[in-house]
């Protein structure tokens, strides 16, 4: 019997029957309703139990898959080491045979056996190179599968993170895990805008694409820096990682970019072996640490230099990060006060920001608790009458809502957006023409935009400083309020 029928029965009983009949009908209606509610409760409990069962099964499946991937990683690493050793051994033998000094004897036909030996070595060398590249790709895929690799607890003492109040420089990682959003141009032009005679800016190129190095240093000079070991990969691969070791590899950019300097990176095309590239250095440091926890922790090399107790000369240190969590990128995060996120205002790029924030939250919670997000910089924005076009405005509005769902603190989307401008492409194209650096801020419109952005960022840095100061207890024994 439905609830409506029982209600009608009650009304009829109230008019046509005795009060006892009406009361009885009311009691029956309440009883039937309670049965319905009890049935709904049982159904809900069953659905909850089923969901919990599916969650537990999914968790077990993930753990099993993770163990399988780690075992596969171990096998691939062993094969990679063997293949890499074979490659370098064959390459050395090949070069020795190829460069064997000529013997002072009358000309004679080449030794067929020697030619066959060289040809065989060339084939083996090429095969070893192919296998090495394939294994590196597979190892990279497994590393990305288990993103918690970098979040493992340290097994040895690590350099302390010196609070902002105890040092001069502000350290900012310019990061987005999506490529093509303008990290490098933001890094270079913002560093030059923030630089002062008494507070110069340092830029460090941590991106394996080495775009910052190519923007700021001509090709000939990059070759000299590479051959002289004055690169970020040589710093990371060294046995000492103090401020002195870092400063000794930095290149001054004056007078082209006053009060600015850069630590470049380069590749084998600059005149050195493949092992000298940033990619090879990062992979080697990661794998050695993964298999031998007694080695120095490669995540903290930059922190050791940038948080050195000696007075630092820089007002700002901007770290141009790659679009993935490499050894160099993790170094930047654990050394930084802030992350600055450039993005293009389109749906794909803005969703990538939300994914980045989820990753940063894990890093902040488990590895670098001092890390904060300074802000999001809309880049390559198209304007009409000083306002973003409709599609860009909609994407930024959607991003503002999405950020609130994944981060527990307010993250400003900078009002001083960087508009799409040909000046950026022109500056990047001219460096190798005459070796002169011409940043886009030399254009008055672009320069004004970066000045406005710098003011916004400095205001936000002061806001964070005041909040962190408020976390210090006012009296001994007083509890600090969290600034997060």
Name the residue ranges covered by the structural domains of the chain: 1-101+109-146, 166-469
Under DSSP, is residue 205 helix (H, G, I), strand (E, B) or coil? strand
pLDDT (0 to 100) of residue 479: 36
**Confidence at residue 111, expressed as pLDDT on a 0 to 100 scale:** 64
Q: Distance between CA atoms of 3 and 6, rounded to whole angstroms?
A: 5
Question: Residues 125, 126, 129, 131: is their CA dihedral positive or negative?
Answer: negative
- CA–CA separation, 331 and 321 (whole Å): 10
Decide which of 3.20.20.70, 3.40.50.300, 3.20.10.10, 1.10.3720.10 is the CATH code for 166-469.
3.40.50.300
Asked whether 172 and 338 are in contact (CB, 8 A), the reply is yes
pLDDT 10s per residue in the chain (484 long)? 555 555 565 555 555 556 676 677 777 777 777 787 888 788 888 888 877 777 777 667 666 766 766 666 667 767 767 776 776 677 677 666 666 666 555 555 666 666 777 777 777 777 777 776 666 666 665 555 445 778 888 888 899 999 988 888 999 999 999 888 999 999 999 999 999 999 999 999 999 889 999 999 988 888 899 988 999 999 999 999 999 999 999 999 999 899 999 999 986 565 555 557 888 888 888 888 887 878 899 999 999 999 988 777 899 999 999 998 999 999 999 999 999 999 999 988 888 999 999 999 999 988 999 999 999 999 998 888 888 889 998 889 888 888 888 888 889 999 988 888 766 766 655 665 666 788 989 889 899 999 999 999 999 999 998 876 655 444 333 333 333 3
Closest CA to 173 of 34, 363, 437: 363
* C-beta of residue 261 within 8 angstroms of C-beta of residue 191: no
Helix (H) or strand (E) holding 288: helix 278-291
61 burial level (CB within 10 Å; 0-12, 13-18, 19+): exposed
Pair of tokens at residue 327:
């050894």
- 3-class DSSP assignment, residue 341: strand
DSSP 399-434: HHHHHHHH-SS---B-SSPEEP-THHHHHHHHHHHH
Q: How far apart are CA 46 and CA 405, in angstroms?
A: 30
Distance CA 347, CA 296 (A): 41
* pLDDT at residue 477 in the model: 39
- d(C-alpha 446, C-alpha 153), whole Å: 44
How many other CB atoms sit within 10 Å of the CB of residue 449?
21
Enclosing H/E stretch for 373: strand 372-381
Residue 212 to residue 206: CA distance in whole angstroms: 9
The string of DSSP letters for 299-321 reads: GGHHHHHHT-SSPP--SEEEEE-
**Residue 115 token pair:** 């030619």
CB 410 within 8 A of CB 449: no
Predicted confidence at residue 376, as pLDDT, reads 95
Instruction: Judge contact between 338 and 374, C-beta under 8 A.
Output: yes
Cα–Cα–Cα angle for 353, 203, 245, rounded to 5 degrees: 125
Put residue 65 in one of left, alpha, beta given phi > 0 → left and psi -120 to 50 → alpha. alpha
pTM comes to 0.70
User: Do β-strands 418-419 and 372-381 pair in parallel, antiparallel, or remain unpaired?
Assistant: parallel
State how far the alpha carbon of 266 is from the alpha carbons of 239, 281, 298, in Å.
Answer: 20, 11, 20
- Tell me which residue has tokens 């009908």: 25
- From the number of C-beta atoms within 10 Å of its C-beta (0-12, 13-18, 19+), residue 480 rates as exposed
Who contacts 193 (Cβ-Cβ below 8 Å, separation ≥6)?
441, 447, 450, 451, 453, 454
């Amino acid at each position: 019997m439905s609830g409506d029928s029982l209600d009608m029965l009650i009304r009829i009983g109230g008019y046509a029957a005795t009060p006892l009949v009406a009361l009885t009908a009311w009691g029956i209606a309440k009883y039937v309703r309670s049965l319905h509610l009890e049935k709904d409760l049982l159904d809900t409990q069953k659905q909850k139990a089923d969901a919990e069962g599916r969650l537990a099964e999914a968790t077990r499946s993930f753990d099993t898959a993770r163990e399988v991937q780690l075992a596969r990683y171990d096998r691939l690493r062993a094969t990679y080491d063997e293949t890499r050793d074979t490659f370098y051994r064959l390459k050395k033998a090949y070069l020795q045979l190829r460069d064997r000094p000529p013997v002072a004897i009358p000309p004679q036909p080449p030794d067929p056996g020697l030619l066959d030996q060289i040809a065989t070595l060339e084939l083996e060398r090429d095969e070893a190179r192919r296998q090495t590249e394939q294994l590196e790709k597979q190892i990279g895929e497994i590393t990305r599968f288990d993103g918690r690799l970098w979040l493992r607890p340290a097994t040895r003492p690590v350099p302390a993170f010196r609070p902002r109040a105890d040092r001069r420089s502000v350290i900012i990682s310019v990061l987005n895990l999506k490529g093509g959003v303008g990290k490098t141009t933001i890094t270079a032009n913002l560093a030059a805008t923030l630089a002062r005679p008494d507070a110069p800016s340092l830029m460090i190129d941590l991106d394996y694409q080495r775009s910052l190095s190519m923007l700021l240093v001509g090709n000939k000079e990059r070759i000299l820096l590479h051959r002289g070991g004055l690169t970020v990969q040589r710093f990371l691969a060294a046995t000492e990682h103090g401020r002195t070791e870092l400063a000794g590899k930095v290149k001054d950019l004056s007078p082209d970019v006053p009060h600015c300097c850069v630590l470049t990176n380069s590749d084998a095309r600059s005149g050195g072996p493949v092992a000298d590239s940033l990619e090879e250095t990062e992979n080697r440091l990661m794998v050695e640490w993964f298999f031998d926890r007694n080695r120095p922790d490669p995540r903290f090399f930059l922190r050791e230099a940038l948080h050195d107790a000696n007075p630092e000369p820089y007002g700002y240190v901007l770290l141009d990060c790659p679009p993935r969590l490499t050894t160099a990128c993790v170094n930047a995060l654990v050394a930084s006060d802030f992350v600055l996120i450039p993005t293009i205002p389109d749906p794909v790029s803005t969703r990538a920001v939300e994914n980045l924030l989820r990753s940063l939250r894990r890093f902040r919670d488990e590895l670098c608790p001092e890390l904060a997000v300074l802000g999001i910089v809309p880049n390559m924005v198209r304007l009409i009458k000083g306002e973003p076009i409709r599609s860009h405005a909609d994407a930024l509005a959607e991003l503002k809502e999405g950020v609130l769902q994944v981060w527990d603190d307010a993250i400003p989307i900078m009002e001083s957006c960087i508009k799409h401008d040909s000046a950026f492409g022109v500056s990047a194209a001219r460096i190798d023409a005459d070796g002169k650096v011409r940043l886009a801020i030399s254009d008055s419109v672009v320069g004004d935009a970066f000045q406005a952005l710098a003011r916004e960022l400095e205001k936000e840095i002061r806001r964070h400083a005041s909040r962190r100061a408020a976390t210090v207890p006012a009296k001994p024994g007083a509890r600090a309020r969290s600034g997060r």
